[in-house]
Structure 1
Amino acid sequence: MKAIRVHAPGGPETLRFEDVEVGQPGPGEVRIRQFAIGLNFIDVYHRTGLYPLPTPFIPGSEGAGEVVSVGEGVDDVLPGDRVAYASAIGAYAEERLVPAAHLVKLPGSIDFETAAAIMLKGLTAQYLLRRTFRVEEGQTILFHAAAGGVGLIATQWAKHLGATVIGTVGSPEKAEIAKAHGCDHVILYRDEDFAKRVKEITHGRGCAVVYDGVGKATFPASLDCLAPLGMFVSFGSSSGQIDAFNINILAQKGSLFATRPTLNTYIAERADLVDMAADLFHVVQSGAVKVKIEKRYALADAEAAHRALESRATTGATVLLP
């Protein structure tokens, strides 16, 4: 079988398309034939060594496909079942082994490409909006990188929940995309003082929550966008890690809350994974959240896909096709 492997941390050129042995599933494992693989910024963090993994490794955290065979003790999926997963390293491959506990069955109305595009990003949006800070009707929220993969899902979902959604983006083109996906107000954060604009939009009140997957470029100004007792949710750092800060700044800016959640924590229990996936599939099936695959690359062209992702040339979802 073919897969992409990284033998040493580095740039996109370290992604090598190679022959690999998959093997038969052991106890609790499932072998799946993949039809689509999701592309995510965490793949870049793994490739560069920011989030180090033992080398050589196969990158990628989400995918969708069909069960080929199952190992001992696996009885909740069978050969031929359509399945998807998130947060299981080793996705950039034609076939792979996955712990059965990481898999969820796909509803018939969700195709493989959509599943690969929403598992990691959509489950991230689910925990952000429904668990880390539960967005309710009438609240005003700020979502950075609103035209990104997580952003386009989260802003539609937040709008469906009845929130007023403010999004930040990096270009006029992305602003139009964000407006079409649930944002009531869009701010060009490279050209405008986004904290000042948020205060203007909210008439000085600020937002109930700021969701920030950008990191260094948007902090600490994000704190100035919050109402007293508001919550700052840092879930990524595409512009670089947030520097250490004095926690007293949270008191000074209105007794704020700050958290750094991860998907792995929220789906550590299988029951939570199943419930979260069901919630995600429901909003997609209902049409409240629409998912468009913006780019498709052959698995062998993963290097080009990474270059596009790192240059912020992508919007929405990108998938790799084995």
Structure 2
Amino acid sequence: MSAVATTRAVRLHAAGGTEGFRVEELPVPAPGPGEILIRQTVAGLNFLDIYHRRGLYPLPALPTVIGAEAAGVVEAVGADVTGLTPGDRIAWAGAPYGGYATHHLLPAWRALKLPDAVGDDMAAASLLRALTVEMLFTRVRPMQSGETVVVHAAAGGIGRMAIAHGRRLGLRMIGIAGGAEKAALARAAGADLVIDRRAEDPVAAVQAATGGGAHLVIDGIGGDMLARSFGMARRFGMVASLGEAAGRIPPVSVYDLGPARSIALARPSVIGFISDSDAYRSAGTAVIARMADGLVVPVGGRFPLDRIADAHDRLESGLGTGALLLDTGA
């Protein structure tokens, strides 16, 4: 199929450090049946991108363009595409990856139309995080009003999104943050209780505050923290392990879970969750409606394509307090 456009893209040539990135001009094929071509204005940066870059979560082939969410405008549609026309504002998340580029070709079912109340920055900063929270509270462990949730990295994007949405659902939300500044952000998001892990033992603090532990513990830290998260869950509760920001998780024995503790461990993938088109459309519609109602992740910084290394360094540092965006406007 002949190229109808070119895209300026950050392509990953080798797994490892940011030296594997190169900014390149690439051809973009015309959309085939069931496909659309998006002119992207802004992409969201996620720790998933770090895992892809490092090779922790292998990609099908290199070189490739990564990036799991973006917002923009439909530029062209292929045959058999209904409900979308050039000029429509949309956001998307999931595979095929390609957020780090000015243009992206993707299946039409990936496109979620944006209402006027949801700007491109808002969508790119919040979509994948909101879908993750939706997955946790509806699919991984359907939550009931009055139940307790502990969320690590409570000042981060997923943390603040989980706190705000959990409060709307009538959940008791306990945030764990590192340092007074991040603890204040978690409180501002609406947490019922915030534990500063630098000032007190979070396991003892959770147990003291709950009288037995939480119904759900959301752990995106990984490393040695996951074993400590087991101690924060109540009997027949669950720990959801989302990531490995602090490093690879040591092997877990089933005896770490029970029978004495009688807890469950989930290792869910939001990319897996939204690989099903019906689940994606249903969850996407719900979270965009919540964005229009103000449930969004604040933007903590933005970078042009040619500063992708700086963007990844900032994301990995853990020093940010909001979503990072990549300007991809063509």
**TM-score over 0.5 for the alignment?**
yes
Aligned partners of 2:226 and 2:241 also within 8 Å: no
- SS, match of residue 145 in structure 1: coil
- SS, match of residue 47 in structure 1: helix
In the alignment, structure 1 residue 4 sits paired with structure 2 residue 10: yes
Report how far residue 253 of structure 1 moved.
4.0
Matches within 5 A, 1:291-310: 291-310=297-316
Q: Which residue of 1 aligns with 2:114?
A: 106
Deviates more, 1:53-62 or 1:248-257: 248-257
- SS, match of residue 21 in structure 1: strand
In the alignment, structure 1 residue 16 sits paired with structure 2 residue 18: no
- SS, match of residue 198 in structure 1: helix
What is the aligned counterpart of 1:69 among 69, 76, 100? 76
In the alignment, structure 1 residue 185 sits paired with structure 2 residue 193: yes
- SS, match of residue 306 in structure 1: helix
Gaps of 5+ in 1: none
- Output the amino acid matched with 2:57: Y
Distance across 2 between alignment mates of 1:230 and 1:253: 13
Aligned partners of 1:26 and 1:72 also within 8 Å: yes
Q: Which residue of 1 aligns with 2:99?
A: 91
Matches within 5 A, 1:139-288: 139-202=147-210, 204-287=211-294
Q: Give CA deviations for 1:19-53 in whole Å, capped at 9, x if unaligned.
A: 11112112221101001100000101111111122
Report how far residue 144 of structure 1 moved.
0.7
Gaps of 5+ in 2: 1-6
Distance across 1 between alignment mates of 2:162 and 2:179: 19
What percent identity do the matched residue pairs reach?
39
- SS, match of residue 16 in structure 1: strand
Q: Which residue of 2 aligns with 1:314?
A: 320
What is the aligned counterpart of 2:33 among 27, 51, 54? 27
Report how far residue 241 of structure 1 moved.
2.4
Report how far residue 265 of structure 1 moved.
2.5
What TM-score comes out, normalization by structure 1 length? 0.95
Are residues 145 and 253 of structure 1, via their aligned partners in 2, closer, same or farther at CA, if it must alter by over 3 Å?
farther
Distance across 2 between alignment mates of 1:79 and 1:185: 47
Report how far residue 312 of structure 1 moved.
0.6
Are residues 228 and 294 of structure 1, via their aligned partners in 2, closer, same or farther at CA, if it must alter by over 3 Å?
same
Are residues 253 and 183 of structure 1, via their aligned partners in 2, closer, same or farther at CA, if it must alter by over 3 Å?
farther
Aligned partners of 1:223 and 1:253 also within 8 Å: no
What TM-score comes out, normalization by structure 2 length? 0.93
Aligned partners of 1:228 and 1:254 also within 8 Å: yes
Distance across 2 between alignment mates of 1:6 and 1:124: 25
Q: Which residue of 1 aligns with 2:3?
A: none
Q: Give CA deviations for 1:81-116 in whole Å, capped at 9, x if unaligned.
A: 111111121110011111212221112211111111
TM-align CA RMSD:
1.4
In the alignment, structure 1 residue 130 sits paired with structure 2 residue 134: no
Are residues 259 and 37 of structure 1, via their aligned partners in 2, closer, same or farther at CA, if it must alter by over 3 Å?
same
- Output the amino acid matched with 2:288: F
